[in-house]
């Protein structure tokens, strides 16, 4: 059963990336910032879709930074809970996929995105949905919802026997997993109102994942999709 859910999750993740690309517009002069750029593979795909060679990233893992830099990405290392190490009104496009749920100071995170975006610039932010059907059913069973099973830095998949990473191994003294722990999970109305409260205009919302049904249905019933992606613009 777990392998079945893993397959559905991977399919939904691929669909979610397609949604992200669909929200990007061509702009050869754009400065693109990828928050949580990892080793840069996805970052380069985003840049190709935008059509820009002005590619910036933020990452905290040293080895990933080195790998991204070899790909021509200008990477800066800092904690996304704090003030961003960029000038005001600097970027045209900002991307953050599966990042905001790891941020404990989300007010600062969104304020900083707003600050470093140019007027009229936009961000594409994607995260898991607390109201996805699989999360709803897990909660009804008294299980930890799928999107909040990695709250511990020492053990994954606590409280849910079908959690994808339930049997991942971490040493008790290994804190390297800590930045990947989920702090909170949003639902679609909550995140929409949050973005608007922080001064953004929500232009479009896309959904992916509708477990156990085909992923594409998540873009029809966005309220219960598993991955929700917002395009928000600085006004």
pLDDT tens, position by position, 145-174 = 999 998 887 888 899 999 887 877 654 444
Q: Report the SS3 class of residue 98.
A: coil
227 has a pLDDT exceeding 70: yes
Superfamily of domain 18-128+179-234: Vaccinia Virus protein VP39 (3.40.50.150)
Q: What is the pLDDT of residue 25?
A: 97
pLDDT of residue 6: 78
- Collapse the DSSP code of 227 into the 3-class scheme (helix H, G, I; strand E, B; otherwise coil) and give the result: strand
- In degrees rounded to 5, what are phi and psi of residue 200? -90, 155
Q: Whole-number mean pLDDT of the chain?
A: 92
Nearest alpha carbon to residue 145 among 135, 157, 132: 135
Name which of 18-22, 159-163, 178-182, 186-190 the model is least confident about: 178-182
Range from 54-58, 68-72, 164-168, 187-191 carrying the lowest mean pLDDT: 164-168
- Structure confidence at residue 179 (pLDDT): 56
What span, in angstroms and rounded, lies between the C-alpha atoms of 148 and 186?
Answer: 11
Return the bridge partners of 54, or none.
31
């Amino acid at each position: 059963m777990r392998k079945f859910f893993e397959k559905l999750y991977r399919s939904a993740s691929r669909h979610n990336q397609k949604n992200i690309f669909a929200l990007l517009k061509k702009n050869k002069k754009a400065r693109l910032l990828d928050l949580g750029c990892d080793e840069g593979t996805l970052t380069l795909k985003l840049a190709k879709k935008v059509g820009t060679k002005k590619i910036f990233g933020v990452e905290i893992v040293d080895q990933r930074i080195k790998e991204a830099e070899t790909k021509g990405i200008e990477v800066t290392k800092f904690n996304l809970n704090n003030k961003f190490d960029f000038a005001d009104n600097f970027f045209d496009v900002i991307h953050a996929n599966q990042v905001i749920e790891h941020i404990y100071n989300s007010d600062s995170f969104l304020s900083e995105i707003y600050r470093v975006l140019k007027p009229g610039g936009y961000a594409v932010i994607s995260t898991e949905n607390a109201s996805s059907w699989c999360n709803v059913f897990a909660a009804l069973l008294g299980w930890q919802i799928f999107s909040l099973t990695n709250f511990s830095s020492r053990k994954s998949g606590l409280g849910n026997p079908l959690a994808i990473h339930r049997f991942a191994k971490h040493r008790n003294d290994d804190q390297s997993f800590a930045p990947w722990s989920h702090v909170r999970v949003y639902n679609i109305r909550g995140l929409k109102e949050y973005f608007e409260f922080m001064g953004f205009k929500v232009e479009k919302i896309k959904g992916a994942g509708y477990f156990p049904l085909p992923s594409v249905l998540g873009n029809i019933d966005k309220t219960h999709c598993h991955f929700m992606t917002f395009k928000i613009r600085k006004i």
